[in-house]
Structure 1
């Protein structure tokens, strides 16, 4: 292969040699030489989105799913700015993403030229590496630094290319870029492990809080729970690898959690955290011995006080830890938490039945209070998707109530995967992350749990799924509300305000954009409609009109929250009259 002679050509060829197969973004001005180099590179597909934010979210998803570099582009000024939200998602998800950014011509930099933005300042917080190319002689060195930094620090690298340098010729003898190999996993030091063992063996009741960092250590984590007879609280991101066939699991904590997880945490003497940076301090138990195992030292003790730390890979460390621990026979702590968990699951399953309000007196009474119009309950939507989605489905969820219903009613069996904006907490992530994931494998089932607010925010990129034949199933929880904000207001004693959405017929909008669509308003039609949507071989939107008054009760409701909710409902009733 002939070595490219221009800066843009060398960038694209080097990325293709590395295995990059797609670049996402919006074409324009300063980056025209780069997109032209992509046009002539058979190994790289250009995906043109309708909003640069969608490109960054899509690449965040791809990098998280593969562990490989994903690449997005945004040109001068506004195009670059639009990337920021998706790039922050990549940053907080520790995803290796390269953003190639356009800039005004070199001679105009610093003159407040049309569309000029100081990219190095703008991206300094989001990026682990951020540089502007000032001459062709700096290449390929800067590209090598960018890619190596994205991998080494598991984050975003930003390479800014002024408009006059993309076509600039490389100096004679410029070498082909090469990227460093990744480091291998390493266990925590034995001194740390031995101190942790002593503390664990001395604690009568141990509870595990297990996160994303342990997903590849399923065998070791289950063996740890068995040896300690310990209930296992999973973070949402740990569901993917640890929920299936797990006799120790007691669900999630936090606002999406349940009373069994709260009980397991409250009743323990020692909390053993494995690969998690679960952020909500209010849901950690107080006065416990805490042992924390994490790959990143910066995570130790920043959510709750840590008594003993182990810094290392979860799987490698647990393989050394397990044979040092004394095996236990008393399973009382585990059994108590599991009993509460199973009873909670039974109650949740009843809510997901389409005829819930007709089955019992409680159901009929609840329906009269919070669902007088017999709208579809969102629990039933999530449960129907769980029934019909293939065992290797890849799911994305919008931040908010869509994630609540997913966490409670979708089981991560088989080889299912899950992506969401679970660290940044952005709106509008499910759609672009789903199209990014689907582009990795157009044969795999991908289902996006979309809130109506989130979908409308990046609605234009539904067309991207059509343009590039990405057969995502978009399931829309169409309750005409910003549901999580509504719940937050009411728990604080405030009447609902500013959360109502005057949505159009989203199925009709989707059809106009070229998707296969259906709108569902009858609970009796829900199951068949979900089965139909998931079976479609093309991009599909299922617009399900759901009950906006459905309540997601947190695992431990305080008196203040309960009183606040009652006051809010009273105010809403008075105002509605």
Structure 2
């Protein structure tokens, strides 16, 4: 534990020394009066760095990113009233991602609590929904026990803990000098053996099994691949499972849902049995009906809440998969006349069909993303319909980043179309990592997530897929990247639109409304702030610009003007969606013609 020149064991000193003991390297926040004792303790503590952000939401997102990448506790701070309120969105991101974050919130002096004092907010009520634990320090005697309780709840329950510290408490001395202790081990649970045997029997009898693999299975890749091989099962991935299961995986067929592909959708539809591993994939419409469903999850509350489940196995995914493999290997051959063949002879047609269809879809996507696509006959025809101004295809931008980014890069993405292009064109091969607000679905997360990730390792490439709408929300924290000289690359998919909302409106038959963004030249803004700003408007310049941006030292913002009318076709496009889109486009043309006539 880092020691300092100060000998007084104040509330602030005990908290900060404990953070150092826990291995916390950065604390993100905005300074303020109630936090002064805490930030001063950080100032005099070796190994713990204060990162001053321009907005507390950025601080909370950055802490969430660090916790998700390391699995360890991360810390943010916000001062009295508005400062604490600003933490909320980033803390919800952490809570929905089930990752441990400690938020220290300033509070008005003790004597003023409940008096509607200047900036007073009831923090315990404010954080009641987002936090697994919340408390206000009202006496130095409560430490270190109250801090230990907060940290154990955050780590043990994989969530957010909030500790409020009134402005007149932080510099008070403790009556006894006892260091905080955080001994905590993570339990490993496994389902009841009879349930495992029943599940294995169903899997052994099934003719066509498909796996739906989620974040909860990310750290047990090899047993899951062995199970897919044993069952001859295609593997559909959730977005959060891309990180662990792409690259050298002969079973994976990509994602389903609105960002997915037809191969993944058909792999689910064609199956008679679905095995859900560590996923709470929320979109009910994308689960086929009438299938045998086996679900493995550590949380009992997750079992069956998205799709009716035949057998629920509550336990660690790794242990459960290994138990299933053991049972399947020990299973006797089926009775004579049974529809299910012996294990060694399981038909692989279902797997081969899905994998072949996925490969065909990827080839088609690669053609769409090719730099010279619009120059060919098919490209010229397509451009006449959806890219009359010959803007840069967002597919081409995402594919170029995939080509030139390092195999250990950390990628973050804003919610919306930036995530669609990342999911389809960036492969999580090698040691690549992936972060996004994939449970909360917040805008503006990509840049602050990247900021938190970059602080963990300044030598590792960090690339943020930023929507122009998302980046605009928290634009001020470009200065934080500059202040700390973080070598982060921000790639702005600058389509001058809230693209996902535009697509949702048009698929519903509504004309685009309220989605147009009057953007600045983001590269010029970045340059004015002291970053390297690069703007790309010509498709011919794209590949070199991406390569150069990723190789440039220091923070870089690459502003790429992309086609605003690009369409991301969902995995299972419906007639209603196609008709709605056609109607919307007709309305937009009529409206545009009317506006032109009025101007004339």
TM-score (norm 1): 0.98
Residues 53 and 85 of structure 1 are in contact (CA less than 8 Å); yes or no, is this contact kept in structure 2? yes
Say which SS state the counterpart of residue 310 (structure 1) adopts: strand
Give the secondary structure class of the aligned counterpart of 1:489.
helix
1:165 is aligned to 169
Q: Among residues 562, 582, 587, which one is paired with 1:566 in the alignment?
A: 582
Match of residue 218 from structure 1: 221
Q: Distance in 1 between matches of 2:346 and 2:207?
A: 11
Q: 1:229·1:328 contact (CA, 8 Å) conserved in 2?
A: no
- Residue from 231, 234, 256 that aligns with 1:231: 234
Deviation for aligned residue 1:192: 1.9
Q: SS at the partner of 2:119?
A: coil
| Counterpart position of 2:117 | 113
Q: Displacement of 1:182 after TM fit?
A: 2.4
Contact 1:228–1:328 under 8 Å retained in 2: no
Deviations 1:411-469 (A, max 9, x none): 11100000000000000000000010000000000000000000110001111111112
1:74 lines up with 2:91 in the alignment: no
Q: Which residue of 2 aligns with 1:424?
A: 440
Partner residue of 2:346 out of 308, 313, 329 = 329
Q: Quick one: distance in 1 between partners of 2:366 and 2:559? A: 23
SS in 2 for 1:256: coil
Q: CA deviation at 1:357?
A: 1.3
Q: Do structure 1's residue 16 and structure 2's residue 27 form an aligned pair? A: no
Are 1:48 and 2:64 counterparts?
no
Among candidates 343, 346, 357, match of residue 360 of structure 2: 343
Take 1:25 and 1:521, find their aligned partners in 2: how far apart are those partners? 36
Contact 1:130 1:157 in 2 (8 A): yes
The answer for the alignment partner of 2:559 in structure 1 is: 543
1:478 aligns with 2:481: no
Q: Within the alignment, does 1:368 sit opposite 2:372 as a pair?
A: no
Partner of 2:459: 443
Quote how far apart the aligned CAs of 1:329 are: 3.0
1:457 aligns with 2:473: yes
Report the Cα offset of residue 17 of structure 1.
Answer: 1.4
Measured after TM superposition, the shift of residue 95 of structure 1 is 0.8
Give the Cα separation in 1 of the matches to 2:171 and 2:291: 61
Q: Residue in 2 aligned with 1:269?
A: 272
1:93-132 equivalent positions in 2, closer than 5 A: 93-132=97-136
SS in structure 2 at match of 1:130: strand
Q: State the SS of the aligned residue for 1:354.
A: coil
Shift of 1:348: 0.5
2:62 aligned to 43, 58, 62, which one?
A: 58
What's the C-alpha RMSD, in Å, of the aligned pairs?
1.0
Whether the aligned pair in 2 keeps the contact of 1:140 and 1:174 (CA below 8 Å) is no
Distance 2:549 2:573 in 1: 37
What TM-score does the superposition give when structure 2 sets the normalisation length? 0.95
Task: Tell me which of 38, 45, 65 is aligned to 2:42.
Answer: 38
1:405 pairs with 2:421:
yes
1:310 and 2:327 equivalent?
no
Distance of aligned partners of 1:330 and 1:155 in 2 relative to their CA distance in 1, 3 Å threshold: same
In the alignment of these two chains, the number of paired residues is: 575
Structure 2 unpaired stretches of 5+: 329-342, 594-600
CA distance in 1, matches of 2:297, 2:194: 15
Task: Give the drift of 1:328.
Answer: 4.4
